[in-house]
Amino acid sequence: MSVNGNLAERVQQESAFLAGVVSAVENVVVGQRPLIERILVALLSNGHLLIEGVPGLAKTTLVKTLASLIDARFQRIQFTPDLLPADLLGTLVYNPREGDFTTRKGPIFTNILLADEINRAPAKVHSALLEAMEERQVTISDSSYPLSEPFLVMATQNPIEQEGTYPLPEAQMDRFMLKAKVGYPSRADELEIMRRTARTSRSFSAAPLIHPDDILRARALVDDIYLDPKIEKYILDLVLATRDPESYGFADLAGLIAYGASPRASIYLCIASRALALLRGRGYVVPQDVKEIGPDLLRHRIIVSYEADAQGVGVEGIVEELFSRTEVP
């Protein structure tokens, strides 16, 4: 494996400032390094991120801090059952003095959008968000408006409180590059959180470290990260095994998967692995990059069968089996 000197030097420069961003976020948010890295992978990959976790795990604080460090525009929208597409996208406002309509843009015109409890909004709002996520544009009346770059949708959903929620359509789930699961902090991390934040007045501030253009420059470098043909085969084996388990040595999983991952999973897994390699300061992808980011990329793209539900087998167990038993190059 050979990486030319120019690429190695560029990777070293870009990974250094990315590591500085990670460290700066950790000065504010304790114990969430995997999530910080997943957000940066999504930013570098021009993708979006869905987070599943209980309330109170500093998800909003983390994203606001990261947006401040990147000097990017940030908007948070609380999704509710009565939310309308116009509340998200914007609308036309009649101007009686001029006798015409002007466009009032909504909160989606930002760099980083936090869609809090996205599964509480109805399907028409999801449909409006889908165009922005996929096409990077918004249509208001008969006009389309491009969104600024970088543009990241980070959505959250609560895994334990399902009353009054609307399950996300499979098409929209597939548009999220990653689905990360956030758990409770360790005892040591929670003690540090208590010491930092257990006070009546709390203020979090983060001075800008980089500019959005730095993210776009690093994003261009992601495409140059070397991906060996053996690792390409490894990625294909993982994804195709979700569609045809028997042909890839997973006969015991054949009846447990109703629908496997689409070709978008193969594409995203290549890009996300490259982005993670850049974060690690390497100009090439290693199998560990695929194994580390792969579960976050596949868990929301596999639909289990009724037989799996009857046996109490969840998608997490299936993904774990795929990664533990697929031959690593």
Domain extent listing, the chain: 5-197+209-218, 225-325
Q: What is the pLDDT of residue 143?
A: 82
Please give the pLDDT value at position 228: 93
- CATH of 225-325 given 3.30.559.10, 1.10.10.410, 1.10.8.80, 3.20.20.70: 1.10.8.80
Peptide bond into 96 cis (omega under 30): no
Burial of residue 143 (CB within 10 Å: 0-12, 13-18, 19+) is exposed
- Reported as half-sphere exposure (CB side, CA atoms, 13 A), residue 71 has a value of 9
Q: Contact at 8 Å (CB) between 238 and 287?
A: no
What beta strand segments (E) does the chain contain?
A: 49-52, 74-78, 90-95, 100-105, 112-116, 137-140, 143-146, 152-157, 178-181, 257-259, 303-304
Query: Per residue in 222-278, pLDDT tens?
Result: 999 999 999 999 999 999 999 998 888 888 888 888 888 989 999 999 999 999 999
Q: Higher-confidence residue: 53 or 315?
A: 315
Euclidean distance between CA atoms 297 and 38, whole angstroms? 10
C-beta separation of 181 from 53 below 8 A = yes
CATH number of 5-197+209-218: 3.40.50.300
- Euclidean distance between CA atoms 113 and 116, whole angstroms: 9
| CA proximity to 42, closest of 211, 217, 233, 180 | 180
Reported as type and span, the H/E element at residue 293 is helix 287-298
